[in-house]
Amino acid sequence: MPYVINVDKNPAYPAAYSDLWKTKELPATTKLRQVKYLNNTVENDHKCVKTKSRYRQWYQSFKTAVNSIDLIESMRMIQKRQLKYTSIGEVRLQNSFINNLFGLAA
Protein backbone atom coordinates (compact mmCIF):
# COMPACT_ATOMS: atom_id res chain seq x y z
CA MET A 1 0.00 0.00 0.00
CA PRO A 2 1.29 3.47 -0.82
CA TYR A 3 2.24 5.92 1.89
CA VAL A 4 1.71 8.98 -0.30
CA ILE A 5 -0.25 9.49 -3.50
CA ASN A 6 1.11 12.36 -5.62
CA VAL A 7 -1.41 13.94 -7.96
CA ASP A 8 -1.89 17.22 -9.76
CA LYS A 9 -4.54 19.83 -8.97
CA ASN A 10 -7.43 18.04 -10.66
CA PRO A 11 -10.50 18.46 -8.43
CA ALA A 12 -11.60 14.84 -8.99
CA TYR A 13 -8.70 13.40 -6.97
CA PRO A 14 -9.81 14.43 -3.44
CA ALA A 15 -13.27 12.99 -4.01
CA ALA A 16 -11.83 9.70 -5.30
CA TYR A 17 -9.38 9.61 -2.40
CA SER A 18 -12.15 10.12 0.17
CA ASP A 19 -14.27 7.39 -1.48
CA LEU A 20 -11.36 4.96 -1.33
CA TRP A 21 -10.67 5.92 2.26
CA LYS A 22 -14.32 5.46 3.30
CA THR A 23 -14.54 2.02 1.69
CA LYS A 24 -11.25 1.12 3.46
CA GLU A 25 -9.47 0.32 0.21
CA LEU A 26 -6.78 2.76 1.31
CA PRO A 27 -5.36 2.73 4.84
CA ALA A 28 -5.74 5.80 7.01
CA THR A 29 -1.98 6.37 6.88
CA THR A 30 -2.02 7.05 3.13
CA LYS A 31 -1.74 10.74 2.37
CA LEU A 32 -2.89 12.63 -0.71
CA ARG A 33 -0.47 15.31 -1.96
CA GLN A 34 -1.77 17.72 -4.55
CA VAL A 35 1.10 19.67 -6.06
CA LYS A 36 0.86 21.24 -9.48
CA TYR A 37 4.20 20.11 -10.90
CA LEU A 38 5.07 17.14 -8.68
CA ASN A 39 3.80 14.62 -11.20
CA ASN A 40 6.09 15.91 -13.97
CA THR A 41 8.98 13.62 -12.98
CA VAL A 42 6.72 10.59 -13.21
CA GLU A 43 5.39 11.68 -16.58
CA ASN A 44 8.91 12.42 -17.80
CA ASP A 45 9.97 8.92 -16.80
CA HIS A 46 7.21 7.47 -19.01
CA LYS A 47 8.24 9.65 -21.95
CA CYS A 48 10.39 6.87 -23.41
CA VAL A 49 7.47 4.43 -23.31
CA LYS A 50 5.14 6.97 -24.87
CA THR A 51 7.48 7.68 -27.76
CA LYS A 52 8.04 3.99 -28.47
CA SER A 53 4.36 3.11 -28.27
CA ARG A 54 3.22 6.12 -30.34
CA TYR A 55 4.02 4.28 -33.55
CA ARG A 56 2.39 1.07 -32.39
CA GLN A 57 -1.16 2.03 -33.22
CA TRP A 58 -1.75 -1.35 -34.80
CA TYR A 59 -2.30 -3.26 -31.55
CA GLN A 60 -4.93 -5.88 -32.23
CA SER A 61 -6.15 -6.13 -28.64
CA PHE A 62 -5.77 -4.54 -25.24
CA LYS A 63 -3.83 -7.59 -24.01
CA THR A 64 -1.09 -7.22 -26.63
CA ALA A 65 -0.80 -3.50 -25.89
CA VAL A 66 -0.45 -4.11 -22.15
CA ASN A 67 2.15 -6.84 -22.64
CA SER A 68 4.20 -4.72 -25.02
CA ILE A 69 4.16 -1.64 -22.78
CA ASP A 70 5.03 -3.74 -19.72
CA LEU A 71 8.00 -5.20 -21.56
CA ILE A 72 9.18 -1.76 -22.67
CA GLU A 73 8.93 -0.45 -19.09
CA SER A 74 10.79 -3.48 -17.73
CA MET A 75 13.63 -3.05 -20.18
CA ARG A 76 13.78 0.64 -19.28
CA MET A 77 14.05 -0.28 -15.58
CA ILE A 78 17.00 -2.55 -16.37
CA GLN A 79 18.59 0.16 -18.50
CA LYS A 80 18.25 2.75 -15.70
CA ARG A 81 19.69 0.24 -13.18
CA GLN A 82 16.56 0.26 -11.04
CA LEU A 83 16.56 -3.52 -10.74
CA LYS A 84 17.94 -4.71 -7.40
CA TYR A 85 20.54 -7.45 -7.08
CA THR A 86 21.78 -7.19 -10.64
CA SER A 87 24.76 -5.38 -12.03
CA ILE A 88 25.47 -4.10 -15.52
CA GLY A 89 27.17 -7.20 -16.91
CA GLU A 90 24.79 -9.83 -15.55
CA VAL A 91 22.88 -10.50 -18.74
CA ARG A 92 21.79 -14.00 -17.74
CA LEU A 93 20.23 -12.73 -14.52
CA GLN A 94 18.45 -9.95 -16.40
CA ASN A 95 17.17 -12.46 -18.97
CA SER A 96 15.89 -14.78 -16.25
CA PHE A 97 14.15 -11.81 -14.61
CA ILE A 98 12.34 -10.98 -17.87
CA ASN A 99 11.50 -14.66 -18.45
CA ASN A 100 10.06 -15.05 -14.94
CA LEU A 101 8.21 -11.75 -15.10
CA PHE A 102 6.40 -12.50 -18.32
CA GLY A 103 6.27 -16.30 -18.16
CA LEU A 104 8.47 -16.76 -21.21
CA ALA A 105 10.18 -20.05 -22.00
CA ALA A 106 13.81 -20.19 -20.93
Q: Considering the entire predicted model, what is its pTM? A: 0.46
Burial pattern 3-32, b for ≥16 Cβ within 10 A else e, equals eeeebeeeeeeeeebeeeeeeeebeeeeeb
pLDDT tens for the chain, residues 1 to 106: 778 888 888 889 999 999 988 998 888 899 998 887 766 666 666 666 666 666 666 677 888 778 777 877 877 777 777 777 666 677 887 788 778 777 776 5
Do the Cβ atoms of 59 and 68 come closer than 8 Å?
Answer: yes
